[in-house]
Chain A
Amino acid sequence: DIQLTQSPSSLSASVGDSVTMTCRASQSVSTYVNWYQQRPGKAPQLLIYAASRLQSGVPSRFSGGGSETHFTLTISSLQPEDFAIYFCQQSYSTPPFTFGPGTKVDIK
């Protein structure tokens, strides 16, 4: 199975900051990477699919990029509701479509 790593495992930032987190795949997954946000006690929500496509209803301050084995999620101008855990997922070839371990964004 394809393995995903995420860095950093956690970061601290302030409201209004711009932050970028990384997801790396153990082999090329083309652009088949998705990003999810999980707030405490809630189910995950899809933010970005196919590496850079914004899910309907998600604010434009979220953006994704990358290809092959290196992907990024950027949040420009952090808002209070953005403090959460972010997971990447690969959807390359056939399932299982594994998740990364997550990056926790908390308040500085």
Chain B
Amino acid sequence: EVQLVESGGGLVQPGGSLRLACAASGFSLTHYAMIWVRQAPGKGLEWVSAVSGSGENTYFGDSVKGRFTVSRDMSKNTHYLHMNSLRAEDTAIYYCAKDRGNYDLWSGSESLESWGQGTLVTVSS
């Protein structure tokens, strides 16, 4: 059974940094793309970042480009979102998701088939 468990959220001051973790089980990160999606309070879904199964390809939304990075620890089968220069508008629930595809080869069926429960990030002084 696929499980995704996020951690690392919390309160951080503007300009600060935070690292979110997504511990995956039931599959290997090497075979699937991993995505972060966020949702500001009372708002819709915003696509944040992705890393391909091989780890060679990373993608970021315009609002976080240059501030957020991703990494993986294959020994722990865990995916990380490193958030720097945080702003009030980064306040949101951050969800980790597993794509059906790997983003190394495109199948036409790319879609977020499994999601974690989310972790709340609050940026405030």
Contact = CB atoms under 8 A, between A and B. Distances in A.
Interface string B84-119: 000000000001000010010000111111011110
Interface residues of A, number: 27
A95 to B, nearest CB: 4
B59 to A, nearest CB: 4
A97 B103 CA distance: 12
A102 B42 CA distance: 12
Interface stretch (B21-29, B45-53, B68-76): B45-53
Contacts of B59: 94-96
Interface of B: 37, 44-47, 50, 59-62, 95, 100, 103, 108-113, 115-118
Interface of A: 1, 30-32, 34, 36, 38, 43-46, 49-50, 53, 55, 87, 89, 91, 94-102
